[in-house]
Amino acid sequence: MAEKKNFAAVLREKGDLRLEETDIPSPSQNEVMIAMDSVGICGSDVHYWTHGEIGDFIVKAPMILGHESSGIVTALGEGVKNLKIGDRVAIEPGVPCRMCEFCKGGRYNLCPDIVFCATPPVHGSLATYYCHAADFCYKLPDHVTLEEGALLEPLSVGVHACRRAGVTLGSKVLVCGAGPIGLVNLLTAKAMGAAEVAMTDIDQGRLNVAKKLGADYPILADTRDGKEMAKKIESALGAMPDITIECSGAPSSVQTGIYSTKSGGVLVLVGLGPAEVSLPIVNAAVREVDIRGIFRYANCYPIALAMIASGKVDVKPLVTHRFPMAKTIDAFETAKTGADGAIKVVIKVKE
C-alpha cells in the first residue's frame, strides 16, 4: 500500500496561500478522522486570503482554510459511537463548548468559546485528512452526494435566516443580494412555503441565476436610493414584502431593506458589510419593523440535510466550478473574481 500523505491549503499570511505537505492528524477522544472529499470556497476564505483578517479575527500564524466540507470517515477516536469507518459525512465546522448558557439554551452559534474551522487561529478542513468532533459530523444517506454534503454549510445559513425571519406558508419575501448566500435563502424560503420571492442584485448575471433557481421577481438594484428601490420592489411584488433577508451587506441595500419591509414585518441582516452603517432607523421604529441579526446557524444541519435528501431543495445548480486540490490557487482566483459566472467553487480533494 502506498504511504499516506497529507496535503493542506495553508494560508501562511495575507496573500500567501500554498498547498503544503503536513502531518497526518490523529483523532482525539470523540473525534473522527476524515478523508476529505469536497470543500466549497466561501467568501470568508477568500477574504482571509486577500486581507488576512475579518473584523477582530486576524491571521497571525499559518492557518489551513476551508469550512464547507464533507468526506469519508477513516478512523475513530476513543468513545465515538455515532459513526463508523466508511461513513460518508457532512462536517458542521463550528464546535461549541457544550457547557455555557448559550450552548445549554440551544443557541450554540453564540457560544463565546466556539471553535470554528478556518477562523483564526483554528485550522480549516481543506486537507487530505482532517479530524473533527464526531457529533458535529452528519452521516449522508446513499443518494445524497458528498458535494451536496459540503453545501449543507451555506444551506444551513439559509435555514437559520429563514427560521429567524419566520418565513411561512404564503410569505412574501425579499432577498437582497443573489450571491451563494442570497440564493440559499431563496431556495429555503421557497421550500418553507413562501408564496413569492423578489430578489435584488447589482449584477444582472446573478439575477439571471436567481430567476433560474425560482426567484419570482429579479430586480436590478440600479439606484442607491432605498426609497426608490422600495417602490420598485413593491410594484413588482404587488405589495410590500412581509420579510426581507438582506444578503449583500451593502449599506444602501440595508437601507432598502428597511424601507421595503411591510409595517410589522421582519428584516433579517445576513450580509456583513461595514461595521457601522447609517440607517433610517426611525422609519423602522415607527413602523415596527423588527431588525434581527443572524450568526451562522444552530441546529440547522439536520434540517438542511432533510431538505436535500427529500428533494425539497436542490443545491446542485449553485456549483459552477470544480477544481482538483492541486489547482487550489486557481480555484481561489475564480472564487475571488467571480470570473466566468462563478457562484460556488468546489475543490475536489479526492480526485
Q: List contacts with Zn ion (CB under 5 A).
A: 96-97, 100, 103, 111
72 or 152, CB closer to ligand NAD? 152
Residues in a beta bridge with 64? 10
CA 235 to chain CA mean position, Å: 30
Cβ atoms of 10 and 20 closer than 8 Å? yes
Distance CA 44, CA 179 (A): 13
Of Zn ion, ligand NAD, none, which one sits near residue 96, judging by CB under 5 to 8 A according to partner kind? Zn ion
Provide CB contacts within 8 A for 3, sequence distance 6+.
Answer: none
Q: What interhelical angle do 180-191 and 152-165 show, nearest 10?
A: 60
Closest listed residue to residue 120, CA positions, set 272, 270, 13, 271: 13
128 or 185, CB closer to ligand NAD? 185
Residue 334 Cβ vs ligand NAD, minimum distance, rounded to whole Å = 12
CB-nearest residue to ligand NAD: 179
Q: Which of 250, 266, 267, 307 binds ligand NAD (CB under 6 A)?
A: 250
Alpha-carbon dihedral 335, 200, 202, 214, rounded to 10 degrees: 50
Distance CA 227, CA 171 (A): 22
Instruction: Retrieve residue 108's grid coordinates.
Output: 450554540
Query: With binding defined as CB under 6 A, does residue 162 bind ligand NAD?
Result: no
Query: With binding defined as CB under 6 A, does residue 221 bind ligand NAD?
Result: yes
CA 301 to chain CA mean position, Å: 11
Judged by CB under 6 A, the stretch of 9-17, 135-143, 244-252, 259-267 that binds ligand NAD is 244-252
Instruction: Retrieve residue 312's grid coordinates.
Output: 425539497
Query: With binding defined as CB under 6 A, does residue 176 bind ligand NAD?
Result: yes
Omega into 121 within 30° of 0, i.e. cis? yes
Residue 53 Cβ vs Zn ion, minimum distance, rounded to whole Å = 24
Query: With binding defined as CB under 6 A, does residue 57 bind ligand NAD?
Result: no
Query: With binding defined as CB under 6 A, does residue 179 bind ligand NAD?
Result: yes
Q: Which of 22, 24, 30, 43 binds ligand NAD (CB under 6 A)?
A: 43
Judged by CB under 6 A, the stretch of 66-74, 137-145, 268-276, 282-290 that binds ligand NAD is 268-276
Q: How many CB atoms lie within 10 A of CB 170?
A: 10
Judged by CB under 6 A, the stretch of 126-134, 139-147, 171-179, 232-240 that binds ligand NAD is 171-179
Cβ atoms of 321 and 341 closer than 8 Å? no
Query: With binding defined as CB under 6 A, does residue 118 bind ligand NAD?
Result: no
Provide CB contacts within 8 A for 205, sequence distance 6+.
Answer: 341
Residue 77 Cβ vs ligand NAD, minimum distance, rounded to whole Å = 29
141 or 341, CB closer to ligand NAD? 341
How many chain residues touch ligand NAD (CB under 6 A)?
27
Of ligand NAD, Zn ion, none, which one sits near residue 111, judging by CB under 5 to 8 A according to partner kind? Zn ion
Residue 44 Cβ vs ligand NAD, minimum distance, rounded to whole Å = 7
114 or 213, CB closer to Zn ion? 114
Which residue matches cell numbers 458528498? 146
Q: Which of 25, 149, 182, 257 binds ligand NAD (CB under 6 A)?
A: 182
Say if strands 172-176 and 16-22 run parallel, antiparallel, or are unpaired. unpaired
Interface with ligand NAD (CB under 6 A)? 43, 157, 176-182, 200-203, 206, 221, 247-250, 252-253, 270-272, 294-296
